Structure 1
Amino acid sequence: MRILTCSAIAACIALSAPQLAQAQDTGSSFKRDKNTSVRQRPRPDFEATGQKAGGFTVYPRVTVDLEHNDNIYAVATGKTKDEIWRVKPELAVRSDWSRHALGFFAGGNVIRYADQGVEDAEEYTLSANGRIDIERGTNVTGSVETKRLVEPRSAPTAPSAAAKPTEYAVNTGNITLVKEFNRLRLTGRIENKDFNYKDVPNNRGTGVVDQDFRDRNELTYGGKAEYAVSPDTAVYVTATGNKRDYDTNVPTQDRTSDGYVIGIGANFELSDLMRGDIQAGYMKQSYDVAAFKDIHAFSTNANVEWFISELTTVGVNASRSNQESMAAGSGGYVANSLGASIDHELLRNVMLSAKYNRGKDVYKGVDRDDKRDSFSATATYLVNRRVGLFLTYDYLKQTSSGAAKGSSFKDNKLVASVALQF
Structure 2
Amino acid sequence: MRILTTAAVAAALMAAVPAVSVAQDLGSNFKRDKNTSVRQRPRPDYEAVGMKAGGFTLYPRVTVEAVNDDNIYAVATGEQSDAIWRVKPEVAARSNWSRNALGAFASASVNRYSDFDTENSEEYTLGLNGRLDVERGTYISASAQWQNLVEPRSAITAGTPAGATAKPVEYYLWSENLTAVKEFNRLRLTGKLDAKKFDYDDQGGAFNQNTRDRDEFYYGGKAEYALSPDTAIFASLVGNTKSYDVDTLGRLASPGVTAIVANRARDSEGYVASVGANFDLSQSVRGEVEAGYMEQTYDHYADLDGFNAKGRVEWFPTELTTLNVAASRSIEDSVAANSGGYIANSASVGIDHELMRNVLLSASASYGKDKYAFIDRDDKRTGFNATGTYLLNRNVGLFLTYTYLKQDSSGAAKASSFSDNKIAASVALQF
Rounded to whole Å, the distance in 1 between the matches of 2:7 and 2:121 is: 24
Count of residue pairs brought into register by the alignment: 414
> How far has the Cα of 1:11 moved from its partner?
2.4
Give 3-state SS (helix, strand or coil) of 2:174's partner. Answer: strand
**2:236–2:275 CA contact under 8 A, matched in 1:** yes
CA 1:46 to 1:14, structure 2 compared with 1: closer, same or farther past 3 Å? farther
**2:12 match:** 11
Rounded to whole Å, the distance in 1 between the matches of 2:63 and 2:51 is: 18
Taking the TM superposition and a 5 Å limit, the aligned residue runs for 1:288-303 are 288-289=299-300, 292-303=301-312
Rounded to whole Å, the distance in 1 between the matches of 2:151 and 2:210 is: 14
The C-alpha deviation readout for 1:342-398, integer Å capped at 9, x for no partner, is 000000000000000010011111000000000000000001000000000000010
**1:375–1:396 CA contact under 8 A, matched in 2:** yes
Rounded to whole Å, the distance in 1 between the matches of 2:271 and 2:248 is: 25
> How far has the Cα of 1:14 moved from its partner?
4.3
- Please say which of residues 20-29 and 221-230 is displaced more in the overlay: 20-29
Q: Which amino acid aligns with 1:255?
A: R
**2:400 match:** 391
> How far has the Cα of 1:338 moved from its partner?
0.8
- Please say which of residues 181-190 and 17-26 is displaced more in the overlay: 17-26
State whether structure 2 residue 413 is matched by structure 1 residue 410. no
The C-alpha deviation readout for 1:316-353, integer Å capped at 9, x for no partner, is 00001111100001100111001100000000000000
State whether structure 2 residue 68 is matched by structure 1 residue 68. yes
Rounded to whole Å, the distance in 2 between the matches of 1:70 and 1:30 is: 46
**1:157–1:326 CA contact under 8 A, matched in 2:** yes
Q: Which amino acid aligns with 1:336?
A: N
State whether structure 2 residue 82 is matched by structure 1 residue 82. yes
State whether structure 2 residue 171 is matched by structure 1 residue 171. no
Identity fraction in percent = 61
**1:165–1:200 CA contact under 8 A, matched in 2:** no
Q: Which amino acid aligns with 2:105?
A: F
Give 3-state SS (helix, strand or coil) of 1:339's partner. Answer: strand
Rounded to whole Å, the distance in 2 between the matches of 1:273 and 1:192 is: 37
> How far has the Cα of 1:97 moved from its partner?
0.4
**1:248–1:254 CA contact under 8 A, matched in 2:** no
Cα RMSD (Å): 1.1
Q: Give the unaligned 5+ runs of structure 2.
A: 251-263
| Dislocated runs of 4+, deviation >6 Å | none
**1:199–1:208 CA contact under 8 A, matched in 2:** no
**2:399–2:427 CA contact under 8 A, matched in 1:** yes
**1:195 match:** 198
CA 1:64 to 1:12, structure 2 compared with 1: closer, same or farther past 3 Å? farther
> How far has the Cα of 1:40 moved from its partner?
0.1
**1:270 match:** 281
1:250 to 248, 251, 274: 248
> How far has the Cα of 1:250 moved from its partner?
3.3
**2:348 match:** 339
**1:213–1:254 CA contact under 8 A, matched in 2:** no
**2:50–2:58 CA contact under 8 A, matched in 1:** yes
Q: Give the unaligned 5+ runs of structure 1.
A: 202-206
**1:285 match:** 296
Q: Which amino acid aligns with 2:141?
A: T
> How far has the Cα of 1:233 moved from its partner?
0.4
Give 3-state SS (helix, strand or coil) of 1:200's partner. Answer: coil
**2:213 match:** 215
> How far has the Cα of 1:7 moved from its partner?
3.2
Taking the TM superposition and a 5 Å limit, the aligned residue runs for 1:22-421 are 22-158=22-158, 159-160=160-161, 161-200=164-203, 207=205, 209-252=207-250, 254-289=265-300, 292-421=301-430
> How far has the Cα of 1:22 moved from its partner?
1.9
> How far has the Cα of 1:297 moved from its partner?
1.1
The C-alpha deviation readout for 1:21-73, integer Å capped at 9, x for no partner, is 22132110000000100000000000000000000000000011100000000
Give 3-state SS (helix, strand or coil) of 1:10's partner. Answer: helix
> How far has the Cα of 1:165 moved from its partner?
0.5
The C-alpha deviation readout for 1:272-304, integer Å capped at 9, x for no partner, is 010110000110000111xx1100011100000
**2:56–2:95 CA contact under 8 A, matched in 1:** yes
Rounded to whole Å, the distance in 2 between the matches of 1:14 and 1:274 is: 29
The C-alpha deviation readout for 1:83-117, integer Å capped at 9, x for no partner, is 00111000100000000000000000001000000
**2:258 match:** none
Q: Which amino acid aligns with 1:351?
A: L
Q: Which amino acid aligns with 1:21?
A: S
**2:257 match:** none
Rounded to whole Å, the distance in 1 between the matches of 2:12 and 2:305 is: 32
**2:15–2:125 CA contact under 8 A, matched in 1:** no
**1:6–1:12 CA contact under 8 A, matched in 2:** no
Rounded to whole Å, the distance in 1 between the matches of 2:287 and 2:245 is: 39
**2:62–2:88 CA contact under 8 A, matched in 1:** yes
Rounded to whole Å, the distance in 2 between the matches of 1:396 and 1:383 is: 30
